[in-house]
Amino acid sequence: MSLNVINNATCTFCGCVCDDIQLHFDETRIHEAKKACVLGKAWFLNHTADHEYPDALIDGHEATVDEAIEAAATFLHDAHMPLIYGLSNTTCEAQREAVSLADRLGGLLDSHTSL
């Protein structure tokens, strides 16, 4: 079995964000993460491309992403003081969208830094 290889991949498990990882992977999972530490290896090898979880849940029931997005927008719009929190295990591009959403909602915006 031949695996695809990415050189100098970036690990986002911890704040070190090591960018010299060599990933060996096939369609569904990463088989090897060279140069990564124990934490990084566990991070890369534990995720798969499988459809393990439902696309979306509303009140515990499976729903489509479209329905869930509409429900989320309604909850946030109806609130007097909505909160957007977290923003750590995600990309800067998503963080930027989250800031824009908090601005539009007139809500609270916060990250792990305040913990």
Residues 84, 106 contacting (CB under 8 angstroms): no
Of 13-42, which residues contact another protein (CB under 8 A)? 13-20, 23, 25, 27-30, 37-40
Q: How far is the CB of 5 from another protein (least distance, A)?
A: 9
Binding mask 86-105 for another protein (x = CB under 8 A): xxxxxxxxxxxxxxxxxxxx
Q: What number of CA atoms fall less than 13 Å from residue 31's CA on the CB side?
A: 10
Residue appearing with tokens 């995600």: 90
Q: How far is the CB of 60 from another protein (least distance, A)?
A: 8
As to burial, measured by CB atoms within 10 angstroms (0-12 exposed, 13-18 middle, 19+ buried), residue 81 is: exposed
By CB under 8 A, name the one of 1, 2, 12, 42 that touches another protein: 12
Q: How far is the CB of 38 from another protein (least distance, A)?
A: 6
